Structure 1
Amino acid sequence: MDARIDKVVTSGKVTVDDTEYDIESNTYIVGDDDAVIVIDPANDPEAILKEIGEREVMAVICTDGRDHHLGAVLEIAEADEDDPAPIGLHSRDRLLWRQYFRALAKKDEDSEFMKDLTPDIDIEDGGVFEIGGAQLEVMHTPGHTPGSICLYSEQLGVLFSGDTLHKGRPGRVGDEYHDLQDQLNSIGSLLGPLPKDTRVLPGQGEETTVGDEDAQWESWFALAQEPSSED
């Protein structure tokens, strides 16, 4: 197996429920010296393309349909204009996709084509992507958004958790959880079967392990009554 993981951290903004937040996002580039899959290209396509270099982009995977996971997808997918890479998103986040690209189309006549854009791949639970001898298994984890997913690679010993799970708590963008109960259920189902030393690479913040997060999972149910950290 030749696959490795490169990480790019970018800064940008995301709008949730009409409120704009500053955010730092993790983009992961998985592959070998020849080809890669890009997970959650966010905010700064130039920085991500620089890390990709001359390697071919085989697919772009969005772990959810929030703004910051869509903002650079077209630039990364179309790095090779003659052979664009397919963009994958879970079917239950298509509404977020439509809202994002139709809003862009309204702002700029040159972007009008975006109102009819659709993802190339409807990602579903149990699907598998392969790159550099490694497999990325799709795990549907609704809660943060209806179509949130994580990607698990046994060969690499990692879980790409998107914004479903961050270090030390359920993932979120902004002040509120979309559906905390579903998110906690998803996290519990996700963590239980995986080896405890599996690295967790989240969409924001530092990495952690399955064992560290599984040990805290039950305590997170109190977050439903916790005051916002922004208050």
Structure 2
Amino acid sequence: MTGPVDHVVTSGTFSLDGGTWDVDNNVWIVGDDREVVVVDAAHDADAIAAAVGDRRVSAVVCTHAHDDHVNRAPELADRFGAPILLHPAEAPLWEMTHPDRAPDRELADGDTVTAGGVVLRVLHTPGHSPGSCSLHAPELGTVFTGDTLFQGGPGATGRSFSSFDTIIDSIRERLLTLPGDTTVRTGHGDSTTVGAELPHLEEWIARGQ
């Protein structure tokens, strides 16, 4: 029996601004026994496909377009006949990895993506990158934050197309306003909760300044 949220960790590299780093990515598969969405198709298409199994993939959703989050998106989309969804502000980053293949549909704040009866509401949470989005599933008590919010603080903002002030605004206004028991499922590392991160907001701001 598969759950409403399945999880695969894949390993590879992240490259931007002339640097390359080894990374482990969380890939989230959300839905039921019949239909799912894949959130952030990273590094290993075969491992992701194995976790999907014989379920229908209704969409490959990209929280943002850093190469470690989208490098297997076209392959997975083609394999399962699913559209790739991405916020249009991510176009410059997407084109660095996939110059010859555009996403199929745009994500916008307030959109919903549905699979297997699970409704994911799109929250535009820029800062880590201009079009970074989080996906809130209220009935599951969870939010998928990509690289916007981690256990222990905000995502990195020291590279091109990023802004510390913007990511703090996104976290404060869009994520930390969710119920405190909401599970935060991140793009890398361990999950956390909104309640666990909320008390540390001012510390992050002080560190960032």
Q: TM-score, normalised by structure 2?
A: 0.94
- Output aligned runs, 1:20-169, within 5 Å: 20-80=20-80, 84-102=81-99, 115=100, 117-169=101-153
Structure 1 residues 143-186: Cα deviation after superposition (integer angstroms, max 9, x where no partner): 0000000000111110100000111110128x658211100010
Please identify the structure whose Cα radius of gyration is greater.
1
Contact 1:144 1:164 in 2 (8 A): yes
Tell me the distance in 2 between the aligned counterparts of 1:76 and 1:10: 14
Tell me the distance in 2 between the aligned counterparts of 1:199 and 1:25: 18
Contact 1:25 1:204 in 2 (8 A): yes
Q: Provide runs of 4+ in structure 1 moved above 3 Å.
A: none
How far off its partner does 1:3 sit?
6.3
In structure 2, the partner of 1:211 is: 195
Distance 1:28 1:140, change over 3 A: same
2:140 is paired with a residue whose SS is coil
Tell me the distance in 1 between the aligned counterparts of 2:183 and 2:148: 15
What number of residue pairs does the alignment pair up? Answer: 207
AA aligned opposite 1:223: R
How far off its partner does 1:215 sit?
1.2
Tell me the distance in 2 between the aligned counterparts of 1:92 and 1:63: 12
Tell me the distance in 1 between the aligned counterparts of 2:149 and 2:176: 14
Contact 2:17 2:159 in 1 (8 A): no
**Cα RMSD after superposing both structures:** 1.6
1:99 is paired with a residue whose SS is helix
How far off its partner does 1:222 sit?
2.3
Q: Percent identity?
A: 41
In structure 2, the partner of 1:10 is: 10
AA aligned opposite 1:91: P
Please, which of 178, 184, 189 is the counterpart of residue 200 of structure 1?
184
Tell me the distance in 2 between the aligned counterparts of 1:52 and 1:68: 19
Contact 1:42 1:71 in 2 (8 A): yes
